[in-house]
Structure 1
Amino acid sequence: MSPPDPAVPRVAASTSDAASTSDAASTSEPSAPFGDERVDEAVAGLSGLDERDVHEHPEHYERVHDALRAALDDEPISASPSDTGSA
């Protein structure tokens, strides 16, 4: 392993830096709805995630992901004019 390059400044993260980072990354309610109740409900499943044990996070992410996938799967795909046979 080579020694660190003296031209590159070394920055040590302090505990206060870590706290401000985690505060900024904390989950909160979205400021505006997404326009689809199913998506809004799915995303609401992320609220309070920052208060849960990190080992519980994957289960919550999977539930939200499944709900979002279900909303996408239920959404009808609009047909283009060439698909409908009309010109």
Structure 2
Amino acid sequence: MNALPHALHATIESIKEDVIVLKLADGQTLRWPRAQVSPTVQDGDVMHLFVFPEGETDGERQRIAKEVLNEILKGDEIL
């Protein structure tokens, strides 16, 4: 099971002083504020983008954290 089923996967195409340029799987590009990503990112890194309605943010954050932990633990159930 994909731990991030609702994520858009994008590759960093270039890094400018104030923005990074992300390329989505369908070829679209997206400019993202450089200040909102880790300073360690590099060209070619894959990013995972999520968009959620305001009221669902906390629940989705918890769900994603559980899924990632489960994947790290190779399917061991965390509750």
Specify the TM-score bucket, using the shorter chain as the normaliser. 0.3 to 0.5
Structure number with higher relative contact order (C-alpha < 8 Å, ≥ 6 residues apart): 2
Q: TM-score, normalised by structure 1?
A: 0.30
Name the structure with the higher strand share: 2
Q: TM-score, normalised by structure 2?
A: 0.33
Structure label with greater radius of gyration = 1
